[in-house]
């Protein structure tokens, strides 16, 4: 009888990715309902000491495979190792992140384990002892609930959705050696080239502060940048600002630029032509600052400030900084 809620934790350069804690939280909830244990698989090199950290987020036991072979993610190495552990331990549920790595890994695992999976899930629950996963279909217009008839019941979880749960228990760390057959591995990472700009890419940013034509001059972007710094945000721009040559094309948000969906989008001096809206309308919270009360963006914003952005933005930045100082 399959038992245990398992998950694959993701780390990069020796630090957990936030989504790992989110899956741990979700796994904890399911395990509590089933009365089972939460076990995590952690693969990497030089990561043994971070393994225990997962305990804080609800994991009971962590299987750590610390080997130079796991230093960089490759589909065949990771999937072989995980599949081996899962086959040996036979858990009832296996959760992964619907991240770039998780999507790649999970699809291979489904094949290796000959089981079913619900991908990109937004909610999980237990009904009659089985996992029921909720996932969006038709570009988010509907949700379907799916259940998986084979074990392990696999699901990948959409990042930034599941809450983390704090748990004072320490996790038991079990070292494992999946003893992979090196001869069967087909890929090897030769080199990793990172984006060195140091900026968070617009499409991945949690918070974006964008400026449009209302900025009037490229010099004025410093007030946008100051606000962005205070918020830990990435700076974006409307097409008009890019066209005017004030901002690089890579900053453009909109139909012909980047499509973004941050938690917070601050639009300063952007009228909100449909080409721009098409690129940011799915943001969770939209704040618009515009002196024109008829600007279409104000109709789409959760919060609108009708005033001169040159007055408002520095004021907001100042107040924000004060709040942050108090907070620390």
Partner 1 sequence: MLSNVGKIFFLLLIVSTIFVFSKRLIFLIRLLKLGKPEDRTDRFWERLKYTLGEVIPQRCVLKHVVRGDYAGIGHMLMFYGFALFVISYIFHIIGGFFGNIPALFGTTFNNWFALLLDIAGLVVMAAVIWAVNRRYIIRPARLKPSIDAAIIFVLVFGLMALNFVMEGFRFLSGSGHFTEWAFVGVALSSIFMSVGLQEKAYTLFHVFWWIHIIIVFCFGIYILYSKHLHILASHFNLFYHSTKPKGSTQPIMDMEEAETFGISKITEFSWKHLLDLYACTECGRCTDICPASSSGKSLKPFDLIHNLREHLLTSGKELLGKREGGKCSAMIGEVVTEDEIWACTNCMACMEVCPVAIEHIDKITGMRQYKVLMEADFAQELQLTYRNMENNSNPWGIGSHLRADWAKELGVKLLSEDPDVEYLYYVGCSGSFDDRGKKTAIAFVGILKAAGVSFGILGTEEGCCGDSAMRGGNEYLYQILAQMNIEVMNGYGVKKIITTCPHGYNALKKDYPNFGGNYEVYHHTEILADLIAQGKIKLKKPAPGLFSYHDSCFLGRYNNIYDQPRNVLKAIPGMKLVEMERNRNKSFCCGAGGARMWMEENIGERINDMRTDQAIEVNAEKIAVACPFCLTMMSDGIKDRDMEEKMEALDIAEIVWDAMDMK
Residues that bind partner 1 (CB under 8 A): 138-139, 141, 213, 240, 243-244, 249, 255-256, 259, 272-275, 277-278, 281, 296, 299
CB of 175 to partner 1, least distance (A): 45
Q: Which residues pair with 147 in a beta bridge?
A: 132
Which among 137, 129, 176, 171 is positioned nearest to 153, based on CA atoms? 129
CB of 266 to partner 1, least distance (A): 20
Whose structure tokens read 């748990």?
167
Q: Up-side HSE of residue 191: CA atoms within 13 Å toward CB?
A: 2
Q: Of 259 and 306, which CB lies nearer to partner 1 in the complex structure? A: 259
Q: Of 105 and 273, which CB lies nearer to partner 1 in the complex structure? A: 273
H-helix or E-strand spanning residue 42: strand 38-44
- The CA–CA distances, whole Å, from 323 to 184, 193, 229, 319 equal 56, 38, 14, 6
Q: Of 3 and 213, which CB lies nearer to partner 1 in the complex structure? A: 213
Say which residues have a Cβ less than 8 Å from residue 286's Cβ, sequence separation at least 6.
Answer: 265, 267, 280, 297, 300, 301, 302, 303
CB of 32 to partner 1, least distance (A): 37
Q: Of 254 and 262, which CB lies nearer to partner 1 in the complex structure? A: 254
Q: Of 29 and 276, which CB lies nearer to partner 1 in the complex structure? A: 276
CB of 143 to partner 1, least distance (A): 15
CB of 296 to partner 1, least distance (A): 4
Whose structure tokens read 């999970």?
106
Bridge-based pairing state of the strands 15-16 and 11-12? antiparallel
Q: Of 46 and 299, which CB lies nearer to partner 1 in the complex structure? A: 299
Strands (E), 113-166: 117-121, 123-127, 130-137, 142-147, 153-157
Whether residue 152 has a cis bond before it, omega within 30° of 0? yes
Q: Of 28 and 276, which CB lies nearer to partner 1 in the complex structure? A: 276
Contact 256, 250 (CB under 8 A): no
CB of 278 to partner 1, least distance (A): 4
């Amino acid at each position: 009888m399959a038992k245990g809620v398992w998950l694959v934790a993701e780390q990069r350069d020796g630090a957990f990715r936030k989504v790992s804690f989110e899956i741990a939280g979700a796994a904890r909830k399911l395990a509590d309902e089933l009365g089972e244990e939460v076990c995590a698989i952690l693969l990497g090199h030089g990561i043994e000491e971070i393994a225990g950290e997962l305990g804080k987020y609800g994991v009971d036991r962590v299987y750590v495979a610390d080997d130079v072979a796991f230093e960089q993610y490759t589909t065949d190495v990771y999937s072989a190792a995980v599949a081996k552990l899962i086959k040996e331990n036979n858990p009832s549920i296996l959760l992964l992140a619907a991240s770039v790595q998780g999507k790649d890994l999970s699809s291979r695992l489904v094949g290796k384990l000959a089981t079913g999976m619900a991908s990109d899930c937004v909610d999980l629950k237990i009904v009659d002892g089985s996992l029921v996963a909720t996932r969006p279909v038709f570009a988010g217009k509907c949700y379907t609930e799916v259940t998986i008839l084979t074990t392990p019941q696999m699901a990948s979880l959409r990042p930034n959705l599941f809450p983390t749960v704090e748990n004072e228990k320490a996790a038991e760390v079990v070292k494992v050696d999946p003893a992979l057959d090196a001869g069967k591995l087909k890929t090897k990472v030769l080199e990793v080239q990172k984006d060195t700009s140091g900026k968070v890419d617009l499409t991945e940013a949690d918070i974006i502060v964008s400026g449009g034509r209302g900025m009037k001059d490229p010099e004025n972007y410093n007030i946008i940048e100051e606000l962005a710094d205070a918020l830990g945000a990435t700076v974006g721009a409307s097409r008009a600002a890019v066209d005017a040559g004030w901002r690089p094309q890579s900053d453009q948000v909109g139909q012909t630029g980047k499509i973004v969906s941050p938690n917070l989008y601050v639009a300063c001096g952007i009228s909100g032509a449909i080409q721009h809206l098409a690129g940011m309308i799915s943001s969770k919270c939209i704040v618009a600052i515009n002196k024109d009360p008829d600007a279409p963006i104000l109709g789409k914003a959760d919060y609108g400030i009708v005033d001169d952005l040159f007055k408002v933005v520095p004021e907001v930045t100042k107040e924000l900084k004060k709040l942050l100082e108090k907070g620390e």
